[in-house]
Structure 1
């Protein structure tokens, strides 16, 4: 009797879209994220399903202390650490052997270094360190480079050319008396030795992959037929290193033949019939906003798009941001191609060409740097701002005797709720009359509720809002890890409930005290401008960009632009 396919349901599924109903949230160009969803009919479904938080595939909600999501981690397979450390050790050994060969045939060079105080030790350390740095800079330690042929050797050549330039520069700047023979010969000999070493290591990697080891667990998204074909191709293309662990069958329906028409997708889990025993062991997932975290909980390292999803659809753009923000690689067959904003790389494997996409700002190292900056800078800011915060607390309490702080539930990264703190700048009944004011001013459909002449704001509230002092308590949210110094504005739950797929990507990063919205006009911006800025930040943010925003924030606060 055939083994049944293992089904994984990330959340109680919504009703599937009828095959021929329009799907306005799928559009090929970004003008306004909200515009695309303004005509969604009740009962229709889209990629975004309220949050990016997924249920545990084994059952229940995957939570830890403090209601934090343990699945949001950026794990690297142990074998990659071992393999890369082995490469570093062997690359260093090859450099030392290259130096020894030069000394063997150039006794003058050896004698010159021995005649200097610690000259030999300094040169060997410099040669090894410089070579490793250059190999790293030329990306020879990246996850896919290690299994490649021509691409790997090209990078090794580039690294040794860079090593030669670096050695020349360092010895000149620091006036190190190093024989020219060493500067010229060591990179050349190292090139030959490292190429041989990497070739042997590459073959060893391929042997292990033939045995099913040293692979990347992969979730394949596409039509049932496309999934079958991709699995068969990956079996032959072992050098790619993708090991299927789950599939996500989808189908495109209701197409009009117009290339500019929105793409309409539905889940077809029931139509995936395993063709082999190996396919029967694969989990079957649903294409929705919970897919990235479910893939993470299954320890997937890659989500591979086989077909169906078009490169310029809203679902593809949203999925790419959601997957890559989880630290999972997004890979596309050449049937799909291009993802805007990502670093694309074509891998010409004989079995099947693969195009991988990567947003480098979502790497583990960049995330760590951002978190360290948040902790250090927020601590310094709290110390420096403590006199101002004490003054503000006294003034708020003195005006009407109400509470000093205002706490409110906001939605953080991946749709997780948290409590945000501010100095209270409004009357104690402000929330109660918000709906009435919104109806009177005709702005009930706007995400950001801001009024220039808001009657709810107290006298001291006008001052602390104009100077942004009211937001200083959010520094404690940054220390807790709920927020970042820089990021999109933390939204309310009712705002998130109205997000469409594309605008929901702002939940893929931590909300910030300041951000691109705050330094670009704040409340003076239109709804479309605010939404576009948030989505653009998710796709393009960087550490240097965050630093620039922090500097611009100082200018924006001094000018008071859009602050009310």
Structure 2
């Protein structure tokens, strides 16, 4: 089949190798037509799932608080109709808040915590409006009704979003429901972004080509990435044509310094006419949305990066959360703790608990408590184990074949039961439920700013690196994740980590 004249002219202009062109054009034309369909379908699923959760919440609250109406009672029908009308109004306001907070925006769904944050914010706004209206107009809504509808609805909304996110991630792992992207930038930044998209396949971006600044059309030029070669299709002056020919859903700009303000503005107009999204990669990494604010000066948008949130009020809120959740968890898990203690004692007759000095908040040292998983006096053999495992110079020591671990200890580590006694550290105030793992004194001291930044928050029982691969991830990735948590702490992130911890523990990956 002969290529269209525009495609042939484009190939000739940039000297693009025909084999690569055929491959790219075939891929993009097959999936572009389905792109709009899956976006509309997924948005429809999100809206329907939210509506079901909201309607179910107000229905459950109405029946739980007021019971089944008795048609024989005087005035019961009028009261039930009044309560039903209030439930309908609450549901409408709730869904309107979700819409106004743009929680159905497809750029947010499926990845990150911003989607969940907007759901929580929308719920807070909806119930705030209802509460104020009830107070001013004396509607007579019973607090018990709202107290039931709020947690039931919020749990349903978050569960529904999580289910849809998992379903979307599974489809994207098979190559479906993805957005085709052309990347504009220098080779090293193109490679970095392509590798990021590959690592985060659940984000749903697939790079179909690249445009390099001042590219002069060398025949067959391709950029090697972890997922394979990415063909170079043009330069900064032919971006719009490349986007049009590849039918890309988005253009990702890794650096705008080579474009200039006028060119960038013209490019946004061209992309708008093509119906293509524009993604601009800032020159900063590991800083998430809540800390980034756009403040225009003389019509020039500037990113303002807010300082990390570590003020006293937030620490008090986090402490209250730790006390509440820690107490509940300790009560519920007490039978498991008893079973573990008996198993350890029967295994070798040694002590049940293992206590070790760790570094906590502001560098203050404390005694961390765990169930003992190693043979007694195993600390004296640590240096020998590091040498045997080839980790004598490692920043953090973890070995799946550590000979000091007992048989029952290996099972306790696999199930993370050995960590449960740290709930006592949480109640004592030296640890938190969520946070970077507490370090042994001297551990990580060779990494610049690592100890100082970690000291801004309390160490936790679980954290980002535990739910991101645990002991299987590299030291560099663990350091990055710890920094990310400290710099971008939020309630929503803590909640997400706790939910992911349950899944990680059940899977048992990376636990040794």
TM interval, short-chain normalised: 0.3 to 0.5
More helix by share: 2
* Structure with more relative contact order (C-alpha pairs < 8 Å, separation 6 or more): 1
User: What is the TM-score of this pair, normalised by structure 2?
Assistant: 0.42
User: What is the TM-score of this pair, normalised by structure 1?
Assistant: 0.38
